[in-house]
Chain A
């Protein structure tokens, strides 16, 4: 919201005030051939490396490989969002990105919270096989 937007409202209350809709009725984000190919090539690389790391195990440290694989996944998700889903922070007046950020917060709370609670629940449980008489 800027002052120019307020000016437009006061000048032409009856006309089309949605700058995003002018001559672009469906609001469909356009991709380009170059964009799709860039996204595809990046995805191929970002997929091939984690599969190679796990299937061939060139690095014997499983924990390090695990972190690397997750890092590649995060980058690849971003690549898909930008090149395939055409995520634009300004699209639909910012509501798309707002809904996405809100969802990411909920996803993080749900997954991290679940793991945190369930891990502690597990760790604090008395192991069955250590109980006397079992």
Chain B
């Protein structure tokens, strides 16, 4: 480090004028920072669930109400949607508009299946009386899993929007950038889901 202290006299330590940034060059970093802030939202919800996860208020425990088969199906669906989104991105980099749209469509179908299974799970729980009002455990469960589900909902809406954009305007640079953001969002949701199925469902049932 010390040898850097000696510089020629004419060295400029900053550019004379503001460097020109091409349009959208900072979007990926900005979107990543958004994802990190989203991560903090989930961290708080996981922390709440860690505290309330065993507060059943003499109500149902995870063992009584969780159906791990459903969770396994949803995990598989989300994982498959991650790989199909990856294939869409590979097609996009190849400039294959039709292939991109097909893989995005398949990803969207997986997203809808995930949401359908989750809505079925929630309505089933509510119908047997395991409502968010029943116990602190169920309140934090519905908040955490529901927040993830909301993210998948908006991700799916965004995905359909992007399919229309690509269909109408093609794989222009702006669309490539937007698809890359959505791809990060989608894979990020899968990462959060790893935390959900591990800490909420699997460890919940083990308790």
Contact = CB atoms under 8 A, between A and B. Distances in A.
Interface of A: 3, 6, 9-10, 13-14, 16-18, 21, 25-33, 36-37, 39-40, 43-44, 47, 50-51, 54-55, 62, 65-66, 69-70, 72-73, 76-77, 80-81, 84-85, 92, 95-96, 99-100, 102-103, 106-107, 110-111, 114-115, 118
Contacts of A95: 29
Given A26-B25, A107-B43, A110-B44, A84 B16 contact: no
Contacts of A33: 87, 90
B43 A51 contact: no
Interface of B: 4, 7, 10-17, 19-22, 24-25, 27-29, 32-33, 36, 39-40, 43-44, 46-48, 50-51, 68, 71-72, 75-76, 79, 82-83, 86-87, 89-90, 93, 173, 176-177, 180, 184, 187-188, 190-191, 194-195, 197-199, 202-203, 205-207
A51 B202 CA distance: 7
Contact of A40 (B40, B83, B184): B83
Contacts of B68: 51, 54-55
B194 A76 contact: yes
B contact patch SS:
helix
A86 to B, nearest CB: 9
B198 A114 contact: no
A77 B191 contact: yes
A29 B190 CA distance: 18
Given A26-B173, A43-B79, A84 B190 contact: yes
Given A17-B15, A62-B206, A92-B28, A99 B36 contact: yes
